[in-house]
Structure 1
Amino acid sequence: MTPAELSAAIRRCLVEAVEAGDPAVGSLAVADLPDDVRVERPRSREHGDWATNVALQLAKKAGAPPRGLATALAGRLAAVDGVAGVDVAGPGFLNVVVDASAAGALARTVVEAGAAYGTSDRRAGLHVNLEFVSANPTGPIHLGGTRWAAVGDALARVLAATGAEVVREYYFNDHGAQIDRFARSLLARARGEAAPEDGYGGAYVGDIADRVLADARERGVDVLALPDAEAQEVFRADGVALMFDEIKRDLHDFGVDFDVWFHEDSLHASGAVEKALAELRGSGALYEADGAWWLRSTDHGDDKDRVVIKSDGKPAYVAGDLAYLRDKRSRGADLCIYMLGADHHGYVSRLKAAAAAFGDDPAVVEVLIGQMVNLVRDGQPLRMSKRNGTVVTMQDLVEAVGVDAARYALTRSSTDSSIDVDLDVLTRRTAENPVFYVQYAHARTCGVARNAEAAGVRREDGFDPSLLDHPTEQAVLAALAEHPRVVEQAAELREPHRVTRHLEVLAGTFHKWYDERRVTPLGDEPVGDEHRTRLWLAEAVRTVLASGLALVGVSAPERM
C-alpha cells in the first residue's frame, strides 16, 4: 500500500463517516475534508508504518474532540484491505500498520510504473519561467554560478516531474558599465598594457583578446590600428560574443542547457524599456521628483522607492528589470522564479513591487537567494583557478571531481546555507562520498539483475509480496514509498536537495538489505518465489535510484 493509497483510504473513511452522520465527526461536511490527507512515517517504527494528524486538523471545524474523531476514523480504517492495525495515540494521532502483503506490493507497483513512479500532474497547466545562473558576460562562471547551474537545472526537472511547463532562461547582462569595462580591459591587454583600474584581470582576458585580434585579422581588420573608440567597439562586440560562447559551452558540458538566452541589451534596443515605463507612467506607478522618475515600490512592500530614470535621463538598472518582467509575463509565464546570489536580497521586494506595479499579484514572482560555496582540500579553503587568480570557476571544479560529483555535491544542500565542498571526499570511491554511495547502490542493483539472469531467476515467473517481511525489506519499502512525497516537496518548497538526501536514505537501506538477503539461490537450492520477489524489490530500488539521479542531472552507472 503506497502513501497515496493510504491517504485516499483515510479520506474515503472520513467521507463515509460524514455521510453516515457519525456523531464523532460533529458538524463536518464533505466540503471541509482535505483533498489529500497527509500521511508520514512516524519517528519510531514501533508506532507503526504510517501516521496522520488529520483528526487534529479537522477537530476545530468539526466542533468535536480530536481523539473521538480519531477513534471513529480508526474503526473504519481498520476494516480497509491491506491495513493490519490502527492505533490512536496522544490527543488524536492515528498510527497505521499495513500488512506485509500490502506493503510488499509496492515493489511491483514501482517496477511497473518505471520512471513515472513519483511523478504527478499536480502542476499541470502551470507555466514557469525559471531564470538561473545569469552570470555577467565578463568572465567564466564562478563557483556560485556553478551552484545555481546545478540547483536550477535540478529544480527545473522536479517542477517538470510534477506537471509544470518549465522554461529555463539565462539573462545576459550585456548592457551597461560592466561591458564597457570589459571592452577596455580587452583592448588594454591586446596592447600589452595593464588592465584599467576598474577593469578585469585574469589570464582569460588575454585569451579572449588574442582571439578577437585573430578573428579580426581573418576579416582583414587590424583592430589595433583603429581609433580607440572603434577598437573598443570591436572588442565589445566580439569579446562579449566569445565570452558568451564559452559560458554556453561550459554549461552544456556541465549538463545544463537553456531554452532561452535573453540579452538585456535587446530590451533597450527594441524599445521595450521605454514601452514598459510609459505604461507605468500612465497607471501612476511612476512619479517625478528631483529631476528623476521613481517607482512607487514602497506602496508594495519595498523599503524605499526606486529610481527608474536618473536625473541625467538615463535608465537605472531597475528599468531593465521592469521591462524584463513584463516581457516574461507577455510570453505566458504564470510564475517567474529568479535564482540570485547572496548579495541580491534587495531584489526580493523590488521584483515583487515591480509585479504589483503592473497590476499582477506579487506571488507571480519568487526570488530564491543562494549562499556561498567554498572549495576545501586538507581542511583548508582552496584557490585553484588557472585562468583567474581570485575565483574558482566551473571548469576548475569539473576538472577536479567530474560533472556528476560536482552536480551532486552542489545540489545536496539547501541553498539557504553556505557549503564547503571537500575535494578529498568527492574523489574517494568510498561510502564517505555521497555521490559514489548512491551511484554504487544503483550499480549494485544492476549487478543483482545480471547475477539473477545467470542463475535463472526471472521476475515474471512469480511474485509474492508477503515474502518481503524481513526488517531490511520493510526499510527498503518504506524508503521507496517516500519517493513521490519527496519529489512533491522538492517541487513545492523549491528544494531539490530533498531528492539527493532521500536517495542516500534509499541507498543505505538497499546496501543493508543486500548484505542480509539473497536473490540468487545458494548451491543446489532451487529457485523459489522468495528469490523472484526479492528481484522485484531490487529492480524497484534501481528504478527509483535511476529516476532520482536523473532529477538532479546525475548519471546512473550500471557498473562501478
Structure 2
Amino acid sequence: MSKQVQQATNQLRSAILSAARKAQTAQTLSAGELPAFTLEVPADRSHGDWAANAAMVSARAFHMAPRKIAEALVQNLSLDGTFFDRCEIAGPGFLNFFYKPEFYTAVLRDVHDSGETYGRSNFGGGKRVLVEFVSANPTGPMHIGNARGGAIGDCLASVLDAAGYKVEREFYINDAGNQVNKFGMSLEVRYLQIYKGEDAVPFPEDGYKGADITAHAKKFAEINGDKYVDAPETERRKALVSYALPLNIQGLQDDLLKYRIKYDNWFRESTLHENGAVERVIALLKEKGATYEKDGALWFKGEDYGSEDFVLVRANGVPTYVVPDIAYHYNKLMVRKFDKAIDVLGADHHGYVPRLKGALQALGIDPSNLDVLLMQMVRLVRDGEVIKASKRSGKAITLVTLLEEVPVDAARFLFNLREPNSEMDFDLDLAVQQDSQNPVYYVQYAYARICSLFKTMAAEGTDLRDCTDAELAQLNAPEEIELVRHLSAYTGEIVEAAKNYDPARITRYALTLATLFHKFYNACHIKGEEDSLAAARLYLCDCVRTTLHNVLSLLKITAPESM
C-alpha cells in the first residue's frame, strides 16, 4: 500500500486501541485486551473508506453486544492528527471511517514527488528470488502456451522487483536427456535421407517431424557434405546436435527478445551432468536414507515426504528425468542460495510438484522455498471459433507466428488478464482491434489522451504547475475522489500481486484506472474553469499519467503519447 494508505491504517489501529483503553478507564468497557481485528475497504465506498470489525470480534471478550461495544469505542475515539474526519457505526457494530481531504492531497503529492518510482516499495526486504519460466525444449519452436508463460513469468518478475525483492529471471535449457537424443536421431535420419533416399532410411514414428529438423539437416549437409554418412552413429549424431542445438537456443533467445523478455541466466541442464551434480544429488539422497532398491532400480521414498514413491535411477543405470530437476533446484536453493525459487509451469506438471518438493525436503531444504505456479492452457479464438493451426502455414501457431499477427503490447497485456490458474481464450480478433473493446488499447488511449490534453493546453498558454494544498482541496467531485483513491491503491496492488503471484491484478488495476480517468475527464472540465481549479485538475491528470506510465512500464508495454 502507498505511504499514505499505510499511514492511515496505522493511525486507525492506534486510534481504535486508544479508544478501547479510554472506554475501559471510563468503565464503559470491561477490562481485558481488545482482540485482533481487521481493517478492510468496504465494497460500497459510500459506507466509508475503511471498515473495522473491532466491535464484532470483541463480543465474547467484553461480554457485550457488538453494537454497544462500537458505541463505547466511538464515544472515546479521537481522530485528531489522522487522515480521518469521522466514524460511523453501521449494522450490528461495524466501524466505518471516512478520509479527510488532506489524505487525497497527500496522495497526489506522493505520486508527483515519486515520479517513475511511484508504486515501488520495500515489502520484499531485498530477499533474492529466482523466477524460472518458459524453459521450452530447444528441440523446436515455442508454442502458444510458452507465449502465455512468458508474459506471466516476465510480468511476475517485474511485480516482485517493484515490491522490493531482488529478482533474477532464468531459462532452463533441457540440452541433455531423452529429448535431445530424439532430436539427434531425427536430424540424423533427415541427413541420411538426403544421400540415401527416404525409402532407404525411413523416419521413425516417435521422431520430430518439424520442418526445422529438415532445414537443419540440409544446411548441415551444405556445410559438411557426405562426410558423416559413413561415420559412426555416435559421432554423426553428436556433430548434428552440436550444429543444430546452438542455433535453436539462439533462436529461442532472439524470439523471446522480440517478446521483450531478457533473461539474467540461461542455465544448461548439461552442466549438471558434466560437473557431477546429478550424481551428487543421488548420493546425498542415499546418505539421507531416502532411497531403496527394487527390481534393480533405485527408488525415492516419496511416501515419507508427502508424495509417492518414484524411480530415481532405472535398472540400466540411467537416471530418470526428475533427477536432473532435483539437482537443478538444489543448485538454485543451496548452491546459489536464493531465498525463493518460483517456477512457472504448465498444469500438466501437477503431479511432478510434490515429487520435487519431497526430494528437496529429504535433502534438508525447506520445501516452502520452492513455489510452483501452475498455468492452465490457453485456447486461440478467431471469429468466435477455437483454432489450432495458422491459416498461413497450416501448422500449430507458435510464439513467432502469433507475434507476426498480434502486437507485442496486446499479447503481453491479454495474457496477463486472467489469473495463471484459470483457462483462457485468447481472442485474435480482439487483440488487433484499435478501439475501446481492446483492453490494452483502452489503457494506452487513456495515457495518450492525457498527453494530448497537455499539448493542447500548452499551445493555449496553460502549462502544468505546482498547486497549493488549498487548490488541490478543490478536487472534491465524486469522480475526482474516486480517481485519487484508486491512485492511492497502486502500491498495495503491487504488493498483493507479489504475495499471490498474480500479475493479472496489475492489468485489472490499469483497466480500472483508465475507466476512472475517462469518467473524470467527461465529468470534470478543465478548459473554461477558474484558474486554480483548472491547475488542480491538470495536476491530477499528471498524476494519472505518471501512474499509467509506471503500470505500462512494469508490464513492458509501450505508453504512446498519441494514437
Fold shared per TM-score above 0.5: yes
Contact 2:133 2:345 (8 Å CA) reproduced = yes
Listed as ranges, the gaps of 5+ residues in structure 1 are none
Deviation larger for 491-500 or 345-354: 345-354
Q: For residue 289 of structure 1, what is the aligned residue in structure 2?
A: 294
Q: For residue 50 of structure 2, what is the aligned residue in structure 1?
A: 50
> Residue 376 of structure 1 aligns to a residue in which SS?
strand
Asked whether 1:201 is paired with 2:209, we answer yes
Alpha-carbon distance between aligned partners in 1 of 2:369 and 2:68, rounded to the nearest angstrom: 42
Alpha-carbon distance between aligned partners in 1 of 2:177 and 2:269, rounded to the nearest angstrom: 9
CA distances 1:395-440 after superposition (whole Å, capped 9, x unpaired): 1111111111011111111111111111111111111100000011
CA distances 1:100-158 after superposition (whole Å, capped 9, x unpaired): 34324422221211222222111113111211111111111111011110000000011
Give the CA deviation at 1:278: 1.1
Alpha-carbon distance between aligned partners in 2 of 1:52 and 1:110, rounded to the nearest angstrom: 27
Alpha-carbon distance between aligned partners in 2 of 1:55 and 1:555, rounded to the nearest angstrom: 48
Asked whether 1:498 is paired with 2:502, we answer no
Give the CA deviation at 1:322: 1.6
How many residues are treated as equivalent by the alignment? 547
> Residue 171 of structure 1 aligns to a residue in which SS?
strand
Give the CA deviation at 1:81: 4.0
Distance 1:72 1:269, change over 3 A: farther
CA distances 1:437-480 after superposition (whole Å, capped 9, x unpaired): 00111111212222232333344352422211112112211221
Give the CA deviation at 1:72: 4.8
Q: 1:313 aligns with which of 317, 325, 339?
A: 317
Give the CA deviation at 1:13: 1.3
Q: For residue 12 of structure 1, what is the aligned residue in structure 2?
A: 14
Q: For residue 171 of structure 2, what is the aligned residue in structure 1?
A: 170
Asked whether 1:364 is paired with 2:365, we answer no
Amino acid at match of 1:544: T
Q: 1:401 aligns with which of 381, 406, 421?
A: 406
Contact 1:182 1:199 (8 Å CA) reproduced = yes
> Residue 347 of structure 2 aligns to a residue in which SS?
coil
Listed as ranges, the gaps of 5+ residues in structure 2 are none
Q: 1:530 aligns with which of 529, 533, 555?
A: 533
Alpha-carbon distance between aligned partners in 1 of 2:545 and 2:229, rounded to the nearest angstrom: 60
Contact 2:466 2:539 (8 Å CA) reproduced = no
Contact 2:413 2:440 (8 Å CA) reproduced = yes
Asked whether 1:322 is paired with 2:326, we answer yes
Q: For residue 279 of structure 2, what is the aligned residue in structure 1?
A: 274
Distance 1:58 1:241, change over 3 A: farther
Deviation larger for 547-556 or 459-468: 459-468
Asked whether 1:460 is paired with 2:465, we answer yes
> Residue 40 of structure 2 aligns to a residue in which SS?
coil
Alpha-carbon distance between aligned partners in 1 of 2:87 and 2:302, rounded to the nearest angstrom: 54
Amino acid at match of 1:383: K
Asked whether 1:115 is paired with 2:116, we answer yes
Amino acid at match of 2:559: A
Give the CA deviation at 1:537: 0.7
Deviation larger for 242-251 or 118-127: 118-127
Amino acid at match of 1:533: A
> Residue 421 of structure 1 aligns to a residue in which SS?
strand
Q: 1:548 aligns with which of 547, 551, 561?
A: 551
* 1:71-150 equivalences in 2 (<5 Å): 71-74=71-74, 75-76=76-77, 78-150=79-151
Asked whether 1:212 is paired with 2:220, we answer yes
CA RMSD of aligned residues (A): 2.5
Q: For residue 482 of structure 1, what is the aligned residue in structure 2?
A: 489
CA distances 1:14-66 after superposition (whole Å, capped 9, x unpaired): 4434665556485327xx768xx6432x2223212333335545766777765
Amino acid at match of 1:536: Y
Amino acid at match of 1:321: D
Contact 2:281 2:326 (8 Å CA) reproduced = yes
Distance 1:199 1:457, change over 3 A: same
> Scaled by the length of structure 1, what TM-score is found?
0.91
Distance 1:365 1:375, change over 3 A: same
Contact 1:26 1:63 (8 Å CA) reproduced = no
Contact 2:11 2:82 (8 Å CA) reproduced = no
Deviation larger for 286-295 or 359-368: 286-295
Deviation larger for 150-159 or 320-329: 320-329
Alpha-carbon distance between aligned partners in 1 of 2:230 and 2:416, rounded to the nearest angstrom: 49
Contact 2:448 2:562 (8 Å CA) reproduced = yes
Contact 1:404 1:554 (8 Å CA) reproduced = yes
Q: For residue 331 of structure 1, what is the aligned residue in structure 2?
A: 336
> Residue 367 of structure 1 aligns to a residue in which SS?
strand
Alpha-carbon distance between aligned partners in 2 of 1:62 and 1:116, rounded to the nearest angstrom: 46
Distance 1:168 1:210, change over 3 A: same
CA distances 1:518-537 after superposition (whole Å, capped 9, x unpaired): 33x33xx7x61101111111
Distance 1:270 1:391, change over 3 A: same
Q: For residue 253 of structure 1, what is the aligned residue in structure 2?
A: 258
Alpha-carbon distance between aligned partners in 1 of 2:152 and 2:30, rounded to the nearest angstrom: 45
> Residue 236 of structure 1 aligns to a residue in which SS?
helix
Alpha-carbon distance between aligned partners in 1 of 2:161 and 2:30, rounded to the nearest angstrom: 38
Q: For residue 479 of structure 2, what is the aligned residue in structure 1?
A: 472
> Residue 469 of structure 1 aligns to a residue in which SS?
coil
Alpha-carbon distance between aligned partners in 2 of 1:159 and 1:25, rounded to the nearest angstrom: 45
Distance 1:342 1:161, change over 3 A: same
Contact 2:55 2:70 (8 Å CA) reproduced = yes
Q: 1:517 aligns with which of 514, 524, 546?
A: 524
Distance 1:485 1:450, change over 3 A: same
Deviation larger for 448-457 or 383-392: 383-392
CA distances 1:68-98 after superposition (whole Å, capped 9, x unpaired): 5544554525444442321122343222221
Amino acid at match of 2:209: G
Asked whether 1:347 is paired with 2:322, we answer no
Alpha-carbon distance between aligned partners in 1 of 2:262 and 2:60, rounded to the nearest angstrom: 49
Contact 2:59 2:65 (8 Å CA) reproduced = yes
* 1:373-452 equivalences in 2 (<5 Å): 373-385=378-390, 389-452=394-457
CA distances 1:345-371 after superposition (whole Å, capped 9, x unpaired): 012211211221111222111111111
Amino acid at match of 1:319: V
Percent identity, aligned pairs only, is 37
Alpha-carbon distance between aligned partners in 2 of 1:311 and 1:227, rounded to the nearest angstrom: 27
Distance 1:532 1:380, change over 3 A: same
> Residue 76 of structure 1 aligns to a residue in which SS?
coil
Alpha-carbon distance between aligned partners in 2 of 1:341 and 1:25, rounded to the nearest angstrom: 56
